[in-house]
Each structure stands twice: as structure tokens, then as C-alpha cells.
Amino acid sequence: MPGRRRPHMLKPNTYPIIFGLGIERQGAQPAMTFRFTRTDRILWLVIAAFTALIYSTLSIVSALRKWLEETFGRECYNAVYWVFAAIGAVILVYLIRKLRGLRLLGSIAVIAIVAAVYWYYLSGMKYPAEKIHFLEYGLLGALLLAALRHHCAQWVSALSAVTIVYWIGLGDEAIQWMLPNRVGEIRDAVINLLSGALGVAALHFSVYMYHTSPAATRRQVKGLPILGAVTSVMTALFIMQVHGFGHVIETKEPGRIYSSFSSGELGRIHHMGFSSHREQKVYENEALRHLHQRAFYFTNNFKGADGSFYRMYDKAYFENEVLEAYYSRYLHDHADMFVGQLLADMDSEVAAKLMRQPLIWPDSLTSWTRQHTGNANRIYESRVKSTLVTTYAPGDLVFYVAVVLAGMAYAWWVASRRGTGTSPISRDRK
């Protein structure tokens, strides 16, 4: 009709994109698209390829690490660190160009805090491969946030990204459980989750928090309890099938240990051998960790309250008692090897100090370390327990999961009944 303007769609008023999105100019309307765009396809293809890379290198990480160090030296890992540093520098330059005033200072502060947390955790990791693995999950979390933010409210996309990182981490540990000479642990999955959460926090609080965002829809909020329920079930299945519960074994000497096996099963292994390759892998992994603790206490200096240094020969003695009492088959099968050889892949620093120490201690060394135990009437508790098995029974886990699922069902019901008006949750259009 004459005098009537043709309706048209306004394009989102944004700057050029970084991680798939740009920082909106003041006054711009929030853009929330539900189409699977070209940017979405690229981001999800990158996420899938990156996840496949993480999974595919798990079986060759030791061989790859050895080849890299022999070919290029240990300095080759610096290249990976520089890549991550370059990504951070690009984001920092981008923010300096696009933000001003308090927004810029806030973004830089967030990046500095996240970098400090990363430095804290990375400084406690001994192996370059472990550090790179930790950084990978941070980048994965940022990529997931960039992909999900196109379709969800900011806080929903952040929670969803962290949840998916945790799922991928569980898959990572499950694959390691299936590989020879590797184990899958819930603790490592949580560490991967932490790195992913740091990546999400860095991108959200430094860039995306300055985007105006519509309120979460009812459908999005209803989906969060479902994510929580799925995560609870996946965690329970992982603990039951992969990580295991374990047993508490306690005697006056050597003390209290946590093992994937009962004392009867350890006795059977000593006399009759292993019933499966899986059993052998778990058994030898436990024995190796107790050996590492023995070597760690024997070689490392600890600082006392008065400033002087000492070594925990008493704990080294108790760990040796654990090995002799419960892992004698491991000692017998590797009797011709030195401690340094067995620990080379686990802790090269400790291994270098014990390159010529025999695996089985001579009686003279056992007697000498025993003298340091004193007359204290205490039960020694091996710290290996914190890295092997959970501390609750299967029945407890079922109860906890049931409580969580009930809570998630209630949250879903509440979200379903929320209405419109002043509520931050809007009804979905039919």
C-alpha cells in the first residue's frame, strides 16, 4: 500500500567477532538467534575436532612425549605454552581496542585473576604433558561457551559449557581406564572441570558480560535440572564401573590403607596371581603409587617449625611395610629393577635420586628407617588413598544420587510452573 514502509530485519549492532561474538555498542539490542548458522557449524566442528584430538592422543602420550624430548629436547613444550600465551595476548589487545574505562580495567583484572589461578595449579604439576592437558580443557570450555551463547542466556550458556566440559572429562578418564598402564580417576575429571570453568570464566567476565542478554526462557531453565540429573547419573556410573569404591584395610602395622582390593583379594593375588589384565593393571598402579610415596618421603626435605629441614624416614618405613605386606607380588615380579627405573615416568626428579636403590630394601635399610618411627602409638594412614578410590560404599552413592535426582525433579517442576510478568523467566512462544 502507498505510504507504507516495507518491514525489514535489523542486523545485530556489533563489532567484529572474537570467539564467535563481538562486543555490542551501547544501545544495541541483544541478538539471540536460534538458527544453526555458519559460525555455529565452524565452532562445533572445532570443538569436535579438538575433543577428538584430546581423546586420540591418550594412548600415545607417553611415546609422543618421549619422541618430542629426544628429538627437540624438553624445551619443545615451550611452543605450546607460547600458543596459549598468544591467545591470551590477542584477547587482551582486542579488549584494549574495544573497551574503555572501568570495563577495560575489569576485563584485565579478570584475565589476571584467571592467569594467576592457572599459574598456581600449573606450578604444582610435574609433567609438561599434564600441564598441556590442563590448558586444553580451559580452551575447550571457552570454545563451548562461544558456541552455546548464540542460543542461550549468558548464565545458562556458562553453566551448560562447564557441564559439557565435565562430560568430556569423564570420557577422557573412561578411555584411560581402558588403556594398558593407565587408570581413570574421578579426581582427574574434576581437575579437567576446574580448567574448563576457568576458561569459561575468563571469556565470560572479560568479554561476554558486557553484552546485553535477554532473560532465560522457561525451556532453558527447565533444561538445567535435566543437565544436573544426567551429570549425576554419569558420575555414578563412572564411579561404579571405572573408578571403583575400594576397601579400607587397617592393621597396627603397617596401618590404614585404601585399596581397590580387599585384604583377601590381595592375599589371593600374592599366592595365585592375577585373574585378568585389568586386575593386574589396577594392582600394579596401586603398588607403584605406594613405591612413589616411599621414595618421596625418603628423598625429600621437609621444613620444620624451627626452620630446619628433615626427612620423613618414618613414613618411608611405613610405606615399605605396606609394600611388603600387601604388594609382595609386585616386589617379586620387579625384584631385578631399581627404584629409579620404575619411577622414571611418574616422577623423574625423585627417580633421579634413587637410580641405584634396589626395589626390595635390604634388612639393614629397613632397620635403620624403623628407628625413626619412635614409640608413638599411632596408626599410619597412607595418603595414596586420596588418589585411588572413593571413601563411601555403593549404597551411599545410590542414596546420594537419589537425593540429587529428587532435587533436580523438584527444580524442573518449579521451573515448569514459573509464569511471566515480573519473572525473569519468560514463556516460550508456542
Rounded to two decimals, the pTM is: 0.71
Closest CA to 64 of 127, 129, 132, 122: 129
Distance CA 162, CA 313 (A): 43
The secondary structure of residue 216, as a DSSP letter, is P
- Pull the grid cell for residue 178: 581402558
- For residues 97 and 387, the model is more confident at 97
Domain coordinates of the chain in residue numbers? 38-213, 219-245+393-430, 248-387
Q: Could you tell me the maximum CA-CA distance found in the chain, to the nearest angstrom?
A: 106
Mean pLDDT of 21-45: 60
161/244: higher pLDDT: 161
Burial of 204 (0-12, 13-18, 19+ CB in 10 A): buried
pLDDT at 33: 45
The span from the CA of 288 to the CA of 359, in Å, is 11
User: What is the CB neighbour count within 10 angstroms for residue 317?
Assistant: 26
Task: Give per-residue pLDDT as tens, 209-264.
Answer: 777 766 778 888 889 999 999 999 999 999 888 887 888 888 777 788 888 888 89
**For residues 416 and 221, what is the distance between their CA atoms, to the nearest angstrom?**
9
Closest among 408, 421, 301, 416 to 349, alpha carbons compared = 301
Q: Which amino acid is at 230?
A: V
Per-residue pLDDT tens digits for 384-411: 876 666 766 788 888 999 999 999 999 9
Q: What is the pLDDT of residues 280-320, one digit of tens each?
A: 888 998 999 999 999 999 999 988 888 888 899 999 999 99
Q: Give kind and range of the element (H or E) at residue 412.
A: helix 394-417
- Indicate if the pLDDT at residue 72 is higher than 80: no
Sign of CA dihedral 180, 181, 183, 189: negative
pLDDT at 138: 93
Dihedral sign computed on CA atoms, order 115, 192, 197, 76: positive
